[in-house]
Structure 1
Amino acid sequence: MQSLAVPAGVTYAADHVIRVIDFTGQDDGSAVAWLEQQGFEFELNAKGLNPRFENDALVISTRTEAAGLFGLRFAQQDYLYGVKRVEIVWGVNRYPEGADWRNGVNSVPIAVMLSFGTEKLSSGLPLGIKSAPYFLSPFIGKKEEQGKMYIGKLWQEGGRYFCVASGDQSGKIITTDFEVDQRFKSAFNQQKTPPITAFAFQKNTSNTNGASEAFIKKITFLSE
């Protein structure tokens, strides 16, 4: 995805935009071929989440317990340096009943994952399986505390999750302004924030009633 076009009506200056990943403007229908053309990798049961374009957004949904991740690894020459914050336009049409991070049910209707640098850190699984770079993951929750940082059962060394919207906001378009630079330094006690080397979005309805639907329209990486 090379488009850096800034849509009409935005308030930030164009010279602050580092990169835009835009899921709008597509004809309704399956998004599988389009995602593959853009370089996204499908992990776990990603295709089972029925990724599709609908209502000018990319929609993912499931009626059962499922987990899937759509990841985009940037080539070294495309690493995103100097990102201060990201703006995500997204929402949830149906929340998975039973998701509750406070009580250990770490399920999400939709989350974004921002990977930093290339150093691989333990996932907590044996034999170094699924080791990954540092990441920050904003997610939309229902019961979770907005603004709170959570640590999952895996990737406890290098992964931090942040509830950026809480309560029942079914069907609403949510615009999230997520600061990353200072948050990374604080979360991992680092002096410098590495470049963003990968982007992903995911859904996980494990240990819930399963039924859930969410959408994402756009993510903008900003230098200010």
Structure 2
Amino acid sequence: MQTAIEQLLQRPEIWRGNHTSSPNINKAAHHIPTGFSALDAALPGGGFPAGALSEILHARHGIGELRLTMPALARLSRGGRWIAMIAPPFLPYAPALAAQGLDLSRVMIVHPHGNQQALWAIEKALRAGTCAAVLAWPKQCDERSLRRLQLAAEAGNSLGLLFRHTQAAESHSPAALRLALGHTTGQRLDVRILKCRGTPTGSITLDTWATPNATTPTALATTDDVVAMPSLSST
């Protein structure tokens, strides 16, 4: 007779640290391809974990952090749910987003007053179930806040993407995925996998001008314009 713990471990939603995934889980339903084949190959399930929090750490804005997410966001924007951008440091540039394949009718931008209001808005958007993805730029985020956001992403089955400074890598985080970005030479982007379920830490280098699986070279050339204009605060 099976013990209670054995029965529990057979449940498909239970993840075990020595397994990259459960054989009973449909990977396509639980991961969103990044659109970059080298990165997809390095991540269990082949992309960003759905219904979970991911952190993208970078030393400065415009290093390629949005470029890395555009193919996945374009795919999600065609699914009928919202793509929410909360507290962006610059005003997103609509023509560049459209060039990347995003359905602008499904994009919402929220400019909260202060960091506490931003964290509240991020949690509500993740938990609502109406957002396929929530991109957020909190000024400060402690472990307790991150844990609340992770639980909210699970509850709303939403892809949570937090953009934070590389200094955050020194702090513990319950996020399912943590990536640190840095430029190498030319237009190549170094991506370090700091944390990922079932995957050892390591680095890969992406040619950020190469054509991802879900977009075009022309669209990629305009990605940096996404953050080219100053942000406007709400009144």
Is the structural similarity TM-score above 0.5?
no
Of structures 1 and 2, the one with the larger relative CO (CA 8 A, separation 6+) is 1
Structure with the higher strand share, 1 or 2: 1
Query: Which structure has the larger Rg?
Result: 2
TM-score by length of 1: 0.28
TM-score (norm 2): 0.27
